[in-house]
Homo-oligomer: A and B are copies of this chain.
Amino acid sequence: MKLSSSYLQGVLTEIKSFQLFQGYSLEQLEKHCLGAEVLVCKHRERLYEFGEVAHRFGIVLSGAFKLSRSTPAGEDAIMHFSPPGDVVAAFIMAQPQPRYPVSVIAMGPSRFLSIPRQTYLDTWKKDIELISRIQNLLSTRMNQFYSQKAMQKAPLSARIAEFLLNFSDKSTADEFDIRIPLTRKEIADALGVTVESVIRIMSDWSKNSFIQTTEQFITVLRPDKLLEFMQIE
């Protein structure tokens, strides 16, 4: 599934628009993509497995991926959702013999630019600006953890509200779209609770038209109402 160089050009212009590479030239990007391949993944395809030695890292081109781990009970615990433009496993590339700290699974048809670890060591690691931007991504991710952890003792409704608002696209004014197709099960796995509990709360919100689900995509119609759930109750 290696890519021809003409195809690579298209990918380069694609990733050029990502936050991470703001201001980078195509030549620079080409160096950073040495040995890269585009992986076209189907829904639920497993890209990396938790515990495997990590020879590659990469960037989400389209679709989305979930980063998760199995619990002792054999269930899934989702750590993070990676939208297009997000880097996956770049943080651990500098370690001597890195192993994937999570499994990476496609959510719906997705594309991923897979880059060999050696390229990280050769070019990424020496690009201070890039490292710095990746560190910012990591620290954003860490902050999401913090916000969720701060709400651990709050009732489930508050935690789901926080979760949904966190994932919302705040660009539009009143309504918030969630650009990743999330199932109730995935929300449950991300919060460490059961599907049934999530459904009970969210179907309540659906009935009251606070949220809406059309074809896997959730829209928050009344963010103000969800905020109420976060604070008081």
Q: Whose C-beta in chain B lies nearest to the C-beta of A191?
A: B152
- Chain A contact patch, size range: 35 or more
Inter-chain contact B152/A72, CB cutoff 8 Å: no
Within the complex, the shortest CB–CB distance from A159 to chain B, in Å, comes to 11
Which 8 A-B pairs rank lowest in CB-CB distance, beginning with the nearest? A152-B192, A77-B150, A94-B132, A69-B150, A91-B139, A145-B145, A71-B150, A153-B192
Q: From A15-23, A24-32, A123-131, give the one contacting chain B.
A: A123-131
Choose from B126, B145, B193 the contact partner of A128 (Cβ within 8 Å).
B126
Q: Which residues of B contact A77 (CB under 8 A)?
A: 149-150, 152-153
- Give me the interface of A with B, judged by CB distance under 8 Å: 69-73, 75, 77, 79, 91-92, 94-95, 101-102, 125-126, 128, 131-132, 134-136, 138-139, 141-143, 145-146, 149-154, 158, 192-193, 230-231
Inter-chain contact A153/B75, CB cutoff 8 Å: yes
Most B C-beta atoms less than 10 A away, residue of A72, A91, A131: A72
Check A138/B193 contact, CB under 8 A, given A151-B71, A153-B73. Answer: no
Inter-chain contact A149/B79, CB cutoff 8 Å: yes
Most B C-beta atoms less than 10 A away, residue of A77, A131, A141, A153: A153
